[in-house]
């Protein structure tokens, strides 16, 4: 099943496939051109990691793609060609600049926002993502000398990808997928919908000090963690330097309103499905 939020401009932002247990097949990143993918292939191989190519098709929903596992074991895919969004007539927006109408059922988040992973060594993984993949390091959370988390993006979002420390034995785990809602009211409405329909909440509604966003975390039926959130800082400075959240202020980075973080939150929820080729 191919899913997209109503203002996602890509053909899909999430693919669900049937499997005996929850797992992460891959996380896909789009680059501008084939040359960018070839350039990344060289950099990843220079870093000592294996790469392979898969052929584009209707099943993948995009053109040819480079695949590799990051040092922390995250299954990455990089592609450049995508099919345009072509919604059925009843879903088309009157506004040519909108990929489809606003939906009016369920939580109806606007767009995909970010993905977060649990990895053994946040510093090692962040350096790979920044130095090899070119993803800007925006801020990090530190307990004493130990990096607890790092948040990164290629665009002006506070993060497109984040890492938090977890024991994964080299096989980085999916921690959560986040979708963006337009307002705090929409996040609260999502909380009501979940509880009304018997799903419960894992953490929140609350506020992260780091991004300043209002969050809500819950699990979908197979156990993966999903976040619906809104707000959050945007980055426009071309010379942005990563900001440290450490010392006394560190706990406020996770929970600015003292909404206690449950112990379960440090757990990743899905291992990469294809561990056979992972480092
Ligand atoms: Fe998040």
Ligand 1 center to residue 14 CA distance, Å? 16
Per-residue model confidence (pLDDT) at position 169: 84
Q: Is the pLDDT of residue 279 over 70?
A: no
Ligand 1 center to residue 214 CA distance, Å? 10
Per-residue model confidence (pLDDT) at position 105: 86
| Cα separation, 259 vs 187, whole angstroms | 15
What value does the mean pLDDT take over residues 54-77? 93
Ligand 1 center to residue 17 CA distance, Å? 23
- In this prediction, what percent of the chain has a pLDDT beyond 70? 98
Q: Are 204 and 217 in contact (CB under 8 A)?
A: yes
Q: By mean pLDDT, which of 115-129, 199-213, 265-279 is the weakest?
A: 265-279
Per-residue model confidence (pLDDT) at position 256: 97
Ligand 1 center to residue 46 CA distance, Å? 31
Tokens standing for residue 182: 């337009």
The secondary structure of residue 102, as a DSSP letter, is: P
Banded pLDDT at 192 (limits 50, 70, 90): very high
| Cα separation, 36 vs 40, whole angstroms | 6
Ligand 1 center to residue 89 CA distance, Å? 33
Local structure of 31: helix, strand or coil? coil
Ligand 1 center to residue 178 CA distance, Å? 6
| Cα separation, 68 vs 61, whole angstroms | 18
Give the dihedral of Cα atoms 202, 73, 18, 14; nearest 10 deg.
70
What rounded mean pLDDT belongs to the chain? 94
Could you report the per-residue pLDDT of 80-120, keeping only the tens digit for each?
A: 999 878 889 999 999 999 999 998 889 999 999 999 999 99
Q: By mean pLDDT, which of 89-93, 159-163, 191-195 is the weakest?
A: 89-93
| Cα separation, 110 vs 164, whole angstroms | 25
Ligand 1 center to residue 267 CA distance, Å? 14
Ligand 1 center to residue 210 CA distance, Å? 11
Ligand 1 center to residue 160 CA distance, Å? 9
Ligand 1 center to residue 232 CA distance, Å? 11
Q: Is the pLDDT of residue 254 over 90?
A: yes
Q: Is the pLDDT of residue 167 over 90?
A: no
Could you report the per-residue pLDDT of 224-233, keeping only the tens digit for each?
A: 999 999 999 9
Banded pLDDT at 275 (limits 50, 70, 90): low
The answer, yes or no, to whether the previous bond of 266 is cis (omega within 30 of 0) is no
- In this prediction, what percent of the chain has a pLDDT beyond 90? 84
Could you report the per-residue pLDDT of 116-135, keeping only the tens digit for each?
A: 999 999 999 999 999 999 99
What value does the mean pLDDT take over residues 262-274? 87
Q: Kindly report whether the global pTM for this prediction surpasses the value 0.85.
A: yes
Return all residues near 214 (Cβ < 8 A) that are at least 6 apart: 184, 187, 204, 205, 206, 207, 229, 230, 231
Q: By mean pLDDT, which of 34-48, 202-216, 234-248, 255-269 is the weakest?
A: 255-269
Q: Angle at Cα 74 formed by Cα 60 and Cα 272, nearest 5°?
A: 70
Ligand 1 center to residue 133 CA distance, Å? 21
């Amino acid at each position: 099943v191919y899913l997209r939020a109503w203002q996602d401009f890509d053909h899909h932002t999430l693919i669900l496939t049937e499997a005996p247990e929850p797992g992460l097949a891959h996380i896909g990143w789009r680059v501008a051109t084939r040359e960018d993918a070839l350039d990344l292939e060289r950099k990843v191989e220079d870093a000592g990691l294996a790469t392979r190519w898969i052929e584009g098709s209707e099943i993948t929903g995009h053109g040819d793609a480079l695949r590799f596992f990051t040092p922390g074991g995250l299954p990455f895919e990089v592609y450049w060609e995508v099919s345009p969004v072509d919604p059925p007539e009843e879903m088309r927006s009157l506004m040519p600049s909108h990929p489809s109408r606003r939906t009016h059922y369920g939580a109806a988040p606007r767009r995909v926002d970010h993905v977060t992973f649990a990895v053994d060594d946040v510093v090692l993984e962040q350096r790979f993502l920044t130095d090899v993949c070119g993803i800007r390091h925006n801020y990090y959370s530190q307990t004493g000398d130990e990096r607890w988390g790092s948040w990164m993006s290629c665009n002006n979002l506070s993060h497109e990808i984040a890492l938090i420390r977890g024991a994964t034995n080299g096989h980085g785990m999916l921690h959560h997928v986040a979708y963006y809602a337009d307002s705090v009211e929409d996040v609260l409405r999502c909380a009501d919908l979940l509880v009304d329909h018997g799903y419960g909440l894992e953490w929140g509604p609350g506020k992260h000090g780091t991004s300043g966003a209002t969050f809500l975390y819950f699990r979908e039926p197979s156990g993966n963690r999903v976040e619906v959130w809104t707000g959050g800082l945007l980055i426009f400075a071309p010379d942005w330097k990563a900001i440290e959240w450490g010392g006394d202020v560190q706990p406020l980075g996770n929970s600015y309103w003292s909404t206690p973080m449950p112990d379960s939150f440090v757990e990743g929820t899905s291992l990469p499905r294809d561990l056979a080729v992972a480092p």
